[in-house]
Amino acid sequence: MTARTWRRALPLLACAWITMLLGSTQAAAAAAMSPEDTAAQALAERYAPVVRLQGDSSNCANGEQFQPTDVEAVLGDQQVALRGPWRPPELVKPQPEGKDLGLVFPGHFLDFPGDPLRPGCAYAEWSARINAVHPATVYAHVAADPAFPGRLSLEYWFFYVFNDYNNTHEGDWESIRLVFDAATPAAALRTTPTAVGYSQHGGAERARWGDAKLEVVDGTHPVVYPAAGSHANKYGRRLYLGRGSEGLGCDDTTSPRAELRPRVAYVPMARADYLRQYPWLAFEGRWGERQRSFFDGPTGPNMKYSWTAPLQDAETTWRDDSTTVPAGTLLGPSSTNAFCTAVATGSNLVRETLDRTWLLGLVLASTVALIWFAASRTRWSDANPLPARTRRAWGQTVVAALRLVRQRPGLFARFAAAFAVLSLLTVALAGLQVARRDAPTDLGAPTENATGFWASLTALAVTVLTIATYVVLLAAVTTTLDQLDRAVPMTAERALRRLIPLWKPLTRAAVQYFVVIAVLTLFVATIPLAVYYAVSRAFAVPIVVAEQCSGRTALSRSRLLVKGRWWRTAVPLAIVTGLGLAVGPVTGITLLLGTDLPPVLVNLVSSMLFALAMPVACAAVVYLYFDRAVPAPDSPGPGEHPGTDRTYSREGGGSVRHGVPPVRSGS
């Protein structure tokens, strides 16, 4: 045989030899396996979980970027390092392998490529690279518990290289457990599980075998829905709200991709046996970079109470259900959605400033300073509700609105009730959409089918009705204040009747106002223009009602009233409307964090508060309009000259006299 032929044959011979060696090693391991382990491995294969990860995305900021990973893909990788517990942590060994971790190394940690506080795409790209050559893997282990003789725990452990949730951190160990009323694996093969537990952050959720919420494939394979980023194991496709052991935040499993069946790597029952096969199970350090607080890397399965005493752990930490987020709200912003957003935003703020305490201090100090400045630059006293047409500081508009509601509770209660009735139409439309998605009975928890033509049409209808409700309420409050200013008694019914002749100009003003804003917000570059337009035309609806003019004239008139005082108008409007929108969600978040009330009841409470707060906010907006409409002493109003009668032309001919002198009777 020529040298050239030998050179070509040697790689093939080497591959064949390695294959034979691995095969003989596996055969020897199988031959050496005890009958108990043989039965346990068969049990692990029979109940191997089916994993339905969330949909992935080409953008590493969206979707699920990680899958259950073979530990061997991480150990020995050139981008992984073992570091010590000192400050700063010194390098102990680059590219550590399983046998290296077998030296225990308490207090040490594995350092993966990237910065867990600012992950970017580093972990996603690394995970994709190592998982491209290693199959998705789950580690199965059967264990007994001396405190519960005659019962066994079958555990499946999933390892992810990164937790891309509110508390981002390197490494993530999650598990599911099946409990058998059997003393041996062989006996467990002759029966079925009695209970199942899915790990979720600091706790786990229980299901009985055969429960409706437990989905099973082919009779024995439980289906697991890992939440996007956090990998908390869930039983279904829902949006879950976390408090306490459920984690803080919201877990999303609504958009699963095709099912994944990870390779089952069996872990022998006896410690000596599994350390011989998986020496890394002796590691007492952390599977991820050390960080402060909950951004720290986790310890491995062998350091968990659920590994050493699985049945005791199940008795003390498993709960019967998880809290799902309702698909919609009754009125106004959803407390549960606001809770999810607030937790995510707060977590991002903490994460970005964890290693830059000066920045966190600057943010907090700036926030306090802005609140103090805004509150100190206005007046809160001498805020009588009437006369309405008088100049007020923005603080006085808020106090005047509150006093007006206190003086006329029946009137504003009817406004709130009418607002609630109109708003419930949006709930009815949302309910129709939930019914079309065939959502379950838990108040329409969202599923992955909430897309398409009908969903878009329903969303558009809900948006239009929400805008119409706000416009009607703002107009009704305006005509009420206008008539009270003229010493004319008013009721909610009379106020609504007075709006009927004005439906055309109100519709014209509202449609142009919201359509222009919607178009301008389609592009990032024009968003500042949308904000400017929103503030400068914010008084169009009150102007139509109080000055009896057309929609187009009202928009122009509003622009003139705000001209030269844009910032002095924008800030009070933002504060007033922000307070009205925030009362319900802030109360809801407080209840979610401080009580065990169900989210449905919390959303109901926040919706009632929203219905009560919106008439107050509308009254404050109307007071801001009257403040702008009343000229300063001895100064002309917008578009007029000193000494002239303030008369503006209507569209289509005719004129109307504006600037009705303040009527002080009834104040």
CA–CA separation, 365 vs 359, rounded Å? 10
What pLDDT is stored for residue 325 in this prediction?
A: 79
What pLDDT is stored for residue 236 in this prediction?
A: 93
Q: Provide the 8-state DSSP code for 70.
A: -
What pLDDT is stored for residue 434 in this prediction?
A: 47
Task: Quickly tell me which residue has 């606001």 as its tokens.
Answer: 338
Where the chain has pLDDT below 70, the residues are 1-32, 244-246, 327-332, 422-459, 462, 632-667
What pLDDT is stored for residue 427 in this prediction?
A: 57
Helix runs in 263-334, H state only: 271-277, 305-308, 310-317
Q: Provide the 8-state DSSP code for 185.
A: H
DSSP character string of 533-570: HHHHTTTHHHHHHHH---HHHHHHHHHHHHTT-HHHHH
∠ CA(591), CA(596), CA(600), 5° rounding? Answer: 70
What pLDDT is stored for residue 431 in this prediction?
A: 52
Buried b (16+ CB within 10 A) or exposed e, 583-593: bbbbbbbebbe
What pLDDT is stored for residue 650 in this prediction?
A: 34
Instruction: Report the length, in residues, of the chain.
Output: 667
What pLDDT is stored for residue 535 in this prediction?
A: 95
Q: Provide the 8-state DSSP code for 218.
A: T
Contact predicate 187/194, CB 8 Å:
no
Residue type for position 637? G
Q: What's this model's pTM, rounded to 2 decimal places?
A: 0.72
Compute how many other C-beta atoms are within 10 angstroms of the C-beta atom of residue 480. 29
Residue 311 has, within 13 A of its CA and on its CB side, a CA count of: 19
Task: Quickly tell me which residue has 């307070």 as its tokens.
Answer: 579
What pLDDT is stored for residue 381 in this prediction?
A: 86
What pLDDT is stored for residue 151 in this prediction?
A: 96
CA–CA separation, 201 vs 185, rounded Å? 29
What pLDDT is stored for residue 426 in this prediction?
A: 60
Helix runs in 265-386, H state only: 271-277, 305-308, 310-317, 335-353, 357-376
What is the SS3 string spanning 378-441? CCCCCCCCCCCCCCCCHHHHHHHHHHHHHHCHHHHHHHHHHHHHHHHHHHHHHHHHHHHCCCCC
pLDDT digits (tens, 9 = 90+) for 235-254: 999 989 887 666 778 899 98
Which tokens is 619 given?
Answer: 């009254």
CA–CA separation, 74 vs 231, rounded Å? 18
Beta bridge partners of 250: 241
Domain ranges of the chain: 33-324, 380-630
What pLDDT is stored for residue 586 in this prediction?
A: 83
Contact predicate 246/203, CB 8 Å:
yes
Is the peptide bond prior to 387 cis by the omega test (within 30 degrees of 0)? yes
